[in-house]
Amino acid sequence: MRNWTNRSSRRTLLCAASALWALTGGAALAQALPFKIQAQPAAEGIRQFARQAGVQILVQSDAARGKRTASVSGVLSLDQALDRLLAGSDLTVVSNDGKTIILAPPRSGLIRTRWSTAAAPLTTAADPTPPEPETPSVIEEVIVTGTRSTSRTVTESMAPIDVISAAELTKSGKQSTRDLISTLVPSANTSNSGAGASFAIKTVSLRGLSADQTLVLVNGKRRHNTAILFVNGTTQNGQSPPDLDLIPSSSIERIEVLRDGASAQYGSDALAGVINVILKKSPEGGSMTALYGKTAEGDGETGQFSGNLGMRLGESGYLNLTADVRLTDPTDRGDKTPNTTVMYFPLNAAGQPVRVGTAGSTPDPREATANRHTSHPGSPQVQLFSLGYSAGSPLGDKIDLYSFGTFSSRNTAAWLTFRNPNASNNNVAVYPDGYTPRLFLKDRDFQVAAGAKGLGLLGFDWDLSTTFSRDDVDYYENSLNASLGPSSPSYFYLGTLKFQEWTSNLDLTRELDTGVFAQPLFLALGAEYRDDKFEIVAGEPASYINGGYVAPAGSPQAGVVFAGGSQGVTGFPPFSAGSFSRDNISAYLNVEQKVTDQLEFALAGRFEHYSDFGDAKTFKLSSRYEILPHLAIRGTASTGFRAPSLQQQHYASSSTIGVIVPPATTTQLYPVQLLPPDNPAAIALGAKPLRPEKSVNYSVGLVAQPLPRMNVTLDVYQIKIDNRILQSGTLGPNAAVSNALASQGLNPQQAAFYYGNFADTKTRGIDLVVDYKTDLGDFGAVRWTFSANHTKNKFTRVVQPPPALAAAGIVYIDRVKIGDLTVGTPKEKYILGADWTLGKFDTNLRLTRYGEVIQRTSLAANDETVSPKLIVDLDLSYAATKAITVSVGANNLLDAYPDSVRAANRGTPAFAYYNQYAPYGISGGFYYARVAARF
């Protein structure tokens, strides 16, 4: 992003379009090229011309404002096409050397401009060649999210949008797109806590809502959800959002984050907003990046290599390829929580093991030498291999073919909670010193899209596409099925989850001259068909059966009832296996009208029909009014909905988690059963068929440019959600739960939970984003950014169980669940960034302050507080050559950790020392070195 200024210091902005590939000047002037450009606002018309001609065009934004360029179609020379483009626009060519074209109104006479970050001399008509930028860039990036128009910029948007550029993606040691979004977007938060399969995927959420209430797009096409359902997490329980980590970061050109409800524009899930990942389309050049780093503790060793290559397809097509490899070792902070329990059975006078507490027994001598480092909280081990591609080619003069896709393979492993040798869920014949279950997930994921778009279909521009995607996750575990006795295997196949999505779209857009207003009416309409399928494949029998093993008389475990199934995460049994599908069809209409030069409106409506729960209608009204040339007010009002996921409707599993079993006041490992809502046991506990979540969203904001090179946006919002789908609190263990489970042949010695429309909520917040560029002359330039968010969630209604169930001790939404949504994430977040460039050096400093987080527990006396914390990220880069940049940096430079967890909440034996509710994790600082090469 670059600013242009003139000698009089009058603020001007560069409206520049950059070529996707460079052509030599003589060839560009003489060669006939195919053009397909519609009549439209000058800013976008010039950009499209530059892309198709392979040149750079420079024009002051004030000169282009309010003007329109004409349509250009056919195989023409650059000069012929340029004449047609500018016909009637009141713009003329000041300079044209075949590579860079300068435009201006005839009255301007000459242009006096310079790069604001360079000490180059001013350029006049006598010296028309501007200084060559290192990389052509666009000051006002045209956005494609939150609007169907192709000529709207961030500052012109009627809703708040953040654009994360490719440069910002590389100036960070963040290995995942998810972490980067959370770092740069004020209202985005990442969940770093979870157990069971929830450890493998971390989520990003917007405006205090859930991750699955944010829609993810890739090149404007819906991204599929993960097959995994978060069951034993914390603030993100019950969700199956898209997995951003499976999109190769080196394939990304930019990310657009719409912080506003958009169900009327894009369909289900867009209650909090939309994340649109735009992939690279460059037909030449490329890059390679290698990163190595580790934590301050010396673990979490990470190696990452990525490569991107662009090439031509024929004369006018492109193929852009990306490969990414990331290997990450786990982090382990279990040294803070040594196992202080009695691990082995005590011995009688004859030296034989007996029950704990037996009179006259003495401790096993192994207690003195036992390895007490038995817990391993931290981040998991990850092996990630990703491929991405983007391709396109013209088919004649009016049609473009395109395709893109990603392919990923990820292996993830994490430790669960240690089982003591003397525990009832251990068999000393298999594990004489106890064991820690280790869960392995093998994730195979892909998305492929193909389509065609063109001009002139009954006056409409059209885009016809289809996208097919799938995510398969295999579960394996090192563990034990104690009910099988000494013959239990120690390695289990637990089953597989599969999610498949096939989406087809037809989008039509055009401008209509109504004769009522000076500007044409923009019209967009379209239809979508989507088919979803979710499948659960049962695991091997040893992972879920109860073998009925009875310990022999005289052993310390004689008479113990052993739980069936593998410990940690139990295999998927046949009763939960199956294939579940649904389809939906939708249609939308979107109109945008500029009433005057200052006032514009947009209206969108969408109708959807789902095969399993019926119809949904959503609407959105947006407006923007420019009070002064550099001050505007904008606002939106919309309704939205989110369909219950197939995972929420049909997933069933069993696992072992920390549960308070009365009369105890501390957590202990206890089996829990997740029931699908249509299971008779869940129905006996009050379950009903899931209904869609429905929302009403209001947003009002200010957009200002109070100083040259300064942009300020301030947006306030309210989001009301009815019928919110939540995971219930842990139900039981008690008689009502035991009876319901036993009635379906399930182990009655379990607690249970299920998903339901348990509450209505209201979210209110405010976002502030400021960016400012300071030109320091000989000392370079600094781009300052400051953003802040305050969000408050509250429950407006909580569903209560029927009197009979309430009397039996059933509470659907307990204080833990209420706390997770209202105080389990920071209410405040502040981000201050400074990117200082000086010659070949680039220093990127970012300070992030997270507000207080409270972890509520079943007992108020045991509630935990995560104090506000400042996290410092630093990246130092040096351009060793024009093609090679070396960097060193740190994420969490000061090695900050969250507050420790009180002993009552660490489990038995103790597991976590640092509070996992902290949005910045519990692994401390990460320090890295990076080498990047461009070619």
Query: What is d(CA 718, CA 485) in angstroms, rounded to the nearest whole number?
Result: 56
Question: Which run of H or of E encompasses 134?
Answer: none
pLDDT above 60 (res 276): yes
In this predicted model, what pLDDT tens digit does every residue of 859-890 receive, in sequence order? 899 999 999 999 999 999 999 999 999 999 99
In this predicted model, what pLDDT tens digit does every residue of 522-542 receive, in sequence order? 999 999 999 999 999 999 999
Contact between residue 191 and residue 919 where contact means Cβ atoms under 8 Å apart? yes
pLDDT for res 194: 58
Contact between residue 685 and residue 733 where contact means Cβ atoms under 8 Å apart? no
pLDDT above 50 (res 148): yes
Q: Is the dihedral of CA 414, 418, 423, 426 positive or negative?
A: positive
Q: CA angle 206-209-215, nearest 5°?
A: 60
Q: What percent of the chain has pLDDT over 90?
A: 63
Cis peptide, bond prior to residue 663, ω within 30 of zero: yes
pLDDT above 90 (res 908): no
Among the listed residues 379, 437, 579, 566, the one whose alpha carbon sits nearest the alpha carbon of residue 496: 579
Query: What is d(CA 138, CA 13) in angstroms, rounded to the nearest whole number?
Result: 10
pLDDT above 60 (res 814): yes
**Residues comprising the chain, all counted:** 935
- 758: helix, coil or strand? strand
How is residue 512 written in tokens?
């209509």
Contact between residue 764 and residue 792 where contact means Cβ atoms under 8 Å apart? yes
What residue type is 834 in one-letter code?
Answer: A
Contact between residue 588 and residue 526 where contact means Cβ atoms under 8 Å apart? yes
Among the listed residues 659, 660, 483, 662, the one whose alpha carbon sits nearest the alpha carbon of residue 557: 483
DSSP codes joined into one string, 453-503: EEEEETTEEEEEEEEEEEEEEEEEEE---GGGGGG--SEEEEEEEEEEEEE
- 900: helix, coil or strand? strand
The alpha carbon of residue 67 and the mean position of all alpha carbons in its chain are separated, in whole angstroms, by 38
| Mean model confidence pLDDT for the chain | 86
pLDDT for res 196: 59
pLDDT for res 30: 43
Query: What is d(CA 510, CA 518) in angstroms, rounded to the nearest whole number?
Result: 16
Greater confidence (234 vs 632) lies with 632
3-state percent breakdown (helix, strand, coil) of the chain, nearest 5:
15, 45, 40
pLDDT for res 180: 82
CA separation, residue 698 to residues 455, 762, 788 (Å): 36, 11, 19
Four-point Cα dihedral 173, 179, 180, 186, nearest 10 = -130
Contact between residue 467 and residue 503 where contact means Cβ atoms under 8 Å apart? yes
